Amino acid sequence: MAIMGGAMSWLSERHLVSALSNAGAFGVIACGSMTPDLLRTEIEATFTLTDRPFGVNLITMHPDLDALIDVCIELEVGHIVLAGGLPPAAAIRKIKDAGAKVICFAPALALAKRLIRNGVDALVIEGSEAGGHIGPVVTSVLAQEILPNITEVPVFVAGGIGRGEAMVSYLEMGAAGCQLGTRFVCANESIAHPNFKKAFIRASSRDALPTVQLDPRFPVIPVRALVNKGTDHFMETQRQLINRVDNGELDQKEAQLEIEHFWAGALKRAVIDGDVENGSIMAGQIVGMVKSEQSVAEILGELILQGETLLDTREKAGAA
Q: Provide the edge-to-edge strand list for the sheet that holds 27-30.
A: 2-5, 177-180, 155-158, 122-126, 101-105, 79-83, 54-59, 27-30
- Domains of the chain: residue spans and CATH: 2-191+290-319 (3.20.20.70), 195-285 (no CATH)
Q: Residue 27: what pLDDT?
A: 98
CA distance 61 to 176: 28
Q: Residue 1: what pLDDT?
A: 65
pTM of the model: 0.93
Q: How do residues 304-319 score in pLDDT, each as one tens digit?
A: 999 999 999 988 888 7
Report the percentage of the chain scoring pLDDT > 90: 79
Contact 7, 28 (CB under 8 A): yes
Q: Residue 272: what pLDDT?
A: 96
Contact 84, 61 (CB under 8 A): yes
Q: In 3D, which of 176, 200, 182 has the Cα closest to residue 130?
A: 182
Q: What is the DSSP string of 154-186?
A: -EEEESS--SHHHHHHHHHTT-SEEEESGGGTT
Q: Residue 85: what pLDDT?
A: 83
CA distance 213 to 257: 16
Q: How do residues 168-222 score in pLDDT, each as one tens digit?
A: 999 999 999 999 999 999 999 999 999 999 999 999 999 999 988 777 776 677 8
Q: Residue 245: what pLDDT?
A: 87
Helix, strand, coil shares of the chain, percent, nearest 5, are 50, 15, 35
Q: Residue 50: what pLDDT?
A: 98
Q: Residue 253: what pLDDT?
A: 77
**Mean pLDDT of the region 234-254:** 86
Q: How do residues 135-177 score in pLDDT, each as one tens digit?
A: 899 999 999 999 999 999 999 999 999 999 999 999 999 999 9
Alpha-helix residue ranges (DSSP H) falling in 60-148: 65-74, 89-97, 109-117, 139-146
Average pLDDT, the chain: 94
| Secondary structure of residue 303 in the 3-state scheme | helix
